[in-house]
Structure 1
Amino acid sequence: METTAVRTRLVEVVVPVYNEQRALRASIARLHTYLTANFPYGFRITIADNASTDNTWQLATELARELPHVRAVHLDEKGRGRALRSVWSRSEADVVSYMDVDLSTDLDAFLPLVAPLLTGHSDLAIGTRLARAARVERGPKREFISRSYNLLLRLGMGARFSDAQCGFKAVRTEIAQALLPGVEDEQWFFDTELLLLAERHGLRIHEVPVDWVDDPDSRVDIVQTALDDLRGLVRVARGTLSGATRVPLSGRAELPKGMAKQLPRFAIVGVVSTLAYLVLYSLLRQVVPPLAANAVALLVTAVANTAANRRFTFGVKGAGGAVRHQFEGLIAFLVGLALTSGSLSLLPAGVSHGVELVAVIVANAAATLVRFLLLRAWVFNPKRRNTP
């Protein structure tokens, strides 16, 4: 009787695929066998074909005919986020989830992932490769990008989840369907945007350390994906601060007091500082390597930027605390240096000066967001300013 009651709960597992004819059959068969033998709840595996141009869709329909609890849906456009939105928004399951077709994550983590959602303990659940208990095998380049991206989320967006990009997530269906109208991205940034929106509304995110092995055949363009994610972060930050994103959940965050006046002033100072940075970087680049030019240009403009924001953005007058403000402002400078230097180090050797410039502009935009939050919440915090 108890087993029957458990089996009436339904978990939908979406596997987004694009041109995966090589791995699809073996991965779906393995997933289906594992869930049938080990998963105590009802399940459905949905293969979401993202406009594949090889035999992926044909294989998906064959698997749907051959295996119980497997179905296939076809989309005319690419995009992992688009595939998840399409399936999750129509699902009648209790919990919706997804995992990558390469099954890089150990399937033993799937029950711990969804169980807190089915009991009502949590609203969303994510696998994390960055917890101490996780065991991960991947190259140093991917490791650096992943840790840098998640550090940026924590510093710049105040995120409390540890791993935004792991392809192993689950959401209570009613929560997913409430959040989806507020998520704009249709590609790889979809996960991050969904999690940031959930945190903004005070939802509970459960994390499960996972064992994860990198797929050597992955065709993800790491640099392009990183740049797209940075652009997505800027868009989400702008929407959050303006209060543009609205979904039917309680706990919406409002624009903090005083920020409405500070943001345009900070933006003006930032535009002037960025122009000065680009001019200085371009001049220095003629005589020194890119990393040195970037460091010097950032340092000079960071000192001027801190002084300008101190006076015009945050209204601090007089010389009191100026040295401390500059010292603490250098902490924000170091964050910017890490972001921009990291972006330069990821570029292939021999790229043009124009590509270099685009990379540092994108990274500088992310560093600017982090800088504003640090200046407002720490360096020029009125509570610290008024403390004797």
Structure 2
Amino acid sequence: MQELVKNLQIIDNKENHGKGYVVKQAMLEARGKYRLFMDADNSTTIDHLDKFWPEIEKGNDIVIASIEVKGAKIEQTAAWYRRILGKIAKYIIRIGAGLWEIHDSQRGFKLFSEKAVKKIFPRQTLMRWGFDFEILALAKKIGFKIKEVPIHWKNPGESKVTLKAYFRTFGELIKIRLNFWNDKYNLKKHEDTRF
């Protein structure tokens, strides 16, 4: 693979530390003016970048995929009870993480400027499912401009998210709130700005 792709770097983790861990690791190891992470199941295809670039050119620091904004298309919708649980979880996340203006924090296709990566990812503390809304909450708090873009999303099949994971989300939202309250993210001390 490295022979086919110039400058490809493979990070080999021997243990499963969680999706948030490997995304944080990769985003900080990556080199480039803009850095994208995407789900390996290709539920959001790479050609969506064509819709993301104009938003970067408009001055947005972070562009995220969304199935909850006008123009989004979903293939193979999930079972009705999962859709209901998903909607409830999204509202709880929007309220709990202070992301009311962001309709979909959980799509695994997000593009960041290098500046945003360097300010946000070193502060990330959640290493599993909740890392998505933690990094967006940090981005908002620091002052980065975030734009949601509608996507054509292909449901990869039956979700592996369990009821236990939904309850874990509550705990992660509380942790984020406490981290801001106790300044664990080290934002107040350094009077952090985008620049």
User: Does residue 178 of structure 2 align to residue 238 of structure 1?
Assistant: yes
Counterpart residue type for residue 169 of structure 2:
D
Q: Which deviations, in whole Å up to 9, do the C-alpha atoms of 1:238-297 show, x marking residues without a partner?
A: 22233332245328xxxxxxxxxxxxxxxxxxxxxxxxxxxxxxxxxxxxxxxxxxxxxx
Unaligned runs of 5+ in 2: none
Matched residue, 2:69: 131
Counterpart residue type for residue 27 of structure 2:
W
Alpha carbons 2:61, 2:145 under 8 Å: kept: yes
Runs of 4+ in 1 over 6 A off after TM superposition: none
Aligned residue among 86, 90, 113 for 1:150: 90
Counterpart residue type for residue 172 of structure 2:
G
Counterpart residue type for residue 64 of structure 1:
Q
Matched residue, 1:222: 162
Matched residue, 2:193: 250
Alpha carbons 1:113, 1:169 under 8 Å: kept: no
Alignment of 1:150-169 (within 5 A): 150-159=90-99, 160-169=101-110
Residues matched between the structures, number: 186
Alpha carbons 2:62, 2:146 under 8 Å: kept: yes
Higher normalized helix content (fraction of residues): 1
Unaligned runs of 5+ in 1: 1-62, 252-388
Alignment of 1:306-385 (within 5 A): none
Alpha carbons 1:189, 1:229 under 8 Å: kept: yes
* Structure 2 CA distance for aligned equivalents of residues 120 and 134 of structure 1: 21
Structure with the greater relative contact order (CA < 8 A, sep ≥ 6): 1 or 2?
A: 2
Alignment RMSD: 2.1
How high is the TM-score relative to the length of structure 2?
Answer: 0.85
Distance 1:114 1:149, change over 3 A: farther
Q: SS state of the match for residue 167, structure 2? A: helix
Counterpart residue type for residue 67 of structure 2:
R
Q: Which protein has the larger Cα radius of gyration, Structure 1 or Structure 2?
A: 1
User: Does residue 9 of structure 2 align to residue 68 of structure 1?
Assistant: no
Q: Which deviations, in whole Å up to 9, do the C-alpha atoms of 1:343-363 show, x marking residues without a partner?
A: xxxxxxxxxxxxxxxxxxxxx
Alignment of 1:1-388 (within 5 A): 63-65=1-3, 67-69=4-6, 70-78=8-16, 79-117=18-56, 119=57, 121-137=59-75, 138-139=77-78, 140-159=80-99, 160-216=101-157, 220-247=160-187, 249-250=192-193
* Structure 1 CA distance for aligned equivalents of residues 12 and 168 of structure 2: 25
Alpha carbons 1:113, 1:207 under 8 Å: kept: no
* Structure 2 CA distance for aligned equivalents of residues 224 and 114 of structure 1: 37
Q: Which deviations, in whole Å up to 9, do the C-alpha atoms of 1:34-78 show, x marking residues without a partner?
A: xxxxxxxxxxxxxxxxxxxxxxxxxxxxx333x224442211232
Alpha carbons 2:24, 2:124 under 8 Å: kept: no
How many Å apart are 1:120 and its aligned residue? 6.4
Alpha carbons 1:91, 1:173 under 8 Å: kept: no
Alpha carbons 1:95, 1:114 under 8 Å: kept: no
